[in-house]
C-alpha cells in the first residue's frame, strides 16, 4: 500500500467510524411514533442543519423518491450499505461545494467504498439488523441534506451557510475537512493544497 492508498484508507476508516458513531448514538430513538417522527427526533444528533419538515418528508415517501432518483442518476443499485455510504459522502461533498458529482466521480467513490467495506472483516454479516438500521439512517440523512442543498441552489447566502454547516458537521463527525478533499474518477483524493501544506 503506497502513501496515497494509506491516506485514503485512514480517511475512510475515520469517516466511517465517525458516521457509525453518529448513527449508532441515534438509532435507539423510538420508532413507535413512526419513522418520520423518530428520524426528526434524531436529527439534532445527526446534523446542525435546521430542516423543519423532516417527519413529513420521510412519511410522505418523498425521501424515498428522492433517494431512488439519485441512485438512478448516479448509476448506483441502491441496495446495500456501500451505496448508502457512498451517497452520504457524495451529498456532504456536493452540499459543501455547491455542485453535483459526475457519474464518473460517483462510480469512483462507490468502488472506493466497496473496497473499504470488503476489508471490514465480518462487519456486514455481524448484525444484519444493525447494518440495515445504519443503512437507513445514512440514506435518510443523505436525502434530507441533498434536498436542502437542492432547495438553496442559487441562493448565495443560504448556500454559503449550508456549506459552512456541512463542513463543520463533517469535521466534527469524521475528523476530516471537506475543503481538503477532491473527488475524482478514482474516488476521493487529498487536494493538492492539502498535500503541499502537509509536506511543508
128-159 confidence digits (pLDDT tens): 888 888 899 999 999 999 999 999 998 999 99
Check residue 167 and give its pLDDT: 96
Contact partners, residue 85, CB within 8 Å, separation at least 6: 16, 19, 113, 117, 138
Cell readout for 120 is: 471490514
Q: Which of 170, 21, 46 is nearest to 97 (CA)?
A: 170
87-125 confidence digits (pLDDT tens): 999 999 999 999 999 999 999 999 999 988 888 766 555
Q: Which residue has the higher pLDDT, 17 or 31?
A: 17
Q: What percent of the chain has pLDDT over 90?
A: 60
Q: Which of 57, 18, 148, 13 is nearest to 94 (CA)?
A: 148
Number of domains in the chain: 1
Residue 59: give the domain boundaries.
3-199
Mean pLDDT of the chain: 84
**Cβ-contact 132, 79 below 8 angstroms:** no
Give yes or no for residue 28 having a pLDDT over 70: no
Contact partners, residue 97, CB within 8 Å, separation at least 6: 163, 178
Amino acid at each position: 500500500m503506497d502513501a496515497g492508498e494509506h491516506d485514503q484508507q485512514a480517511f475512510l476508516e475515520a469517516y466511517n467510524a465517525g458516521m457509525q458513531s453518529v448513527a449508532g448514538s441515534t438509532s435507539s430513538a423510538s420508532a413507535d411514533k413512526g419513522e418520520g417522527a423518530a428520524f426528526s427526533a434524531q436529527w439534532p444528533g445527526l446534523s446542525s442543519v435546521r430542516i423543519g419538515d423532516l417527519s413529513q418528508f420521510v412519511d410522505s415517501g418523498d425521501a424515498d423518491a428522492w433517494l431512488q432518483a439519485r441512485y438512478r442518476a448516479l448509476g448506483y443499485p441502491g441496495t446495500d450499505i456501500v451505496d448508502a455510504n457512498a451517497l452520504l459522502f457524495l451529498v456532504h461533498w456536493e452540499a459543501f461545494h455547491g455542485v453535483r458529482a459526475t457519474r464518473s466521480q460517483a462510480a469512483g467513490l462507490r468502488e472506493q467504498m466497496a473496497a473499504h467495506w470488503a476489508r471490514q472483516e465480518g462487519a456486514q454479516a455481524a448484525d444484519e439488523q444493525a447494518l440495515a438500521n445504519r443503512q437507513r439512517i445514512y440514506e435518510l440523512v443523505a436525502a434530507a441534506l441533498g434536498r436542502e442543498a437542492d432547495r438553496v441552489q442559487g441562493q448565495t447566502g443560504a448556500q454559503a451557510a449550508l456549506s459552512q454547516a456541512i463542513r463543520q458537521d463533517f469535521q466534527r463527525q469524521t475528523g476530516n475537512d471537506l475543503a481538503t478533499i477532491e473527488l475524482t474518477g478514482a474516488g476521493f483524493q487529498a487536494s493538492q493544497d492539502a498535500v503541499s501544506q502537509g509536506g511543508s
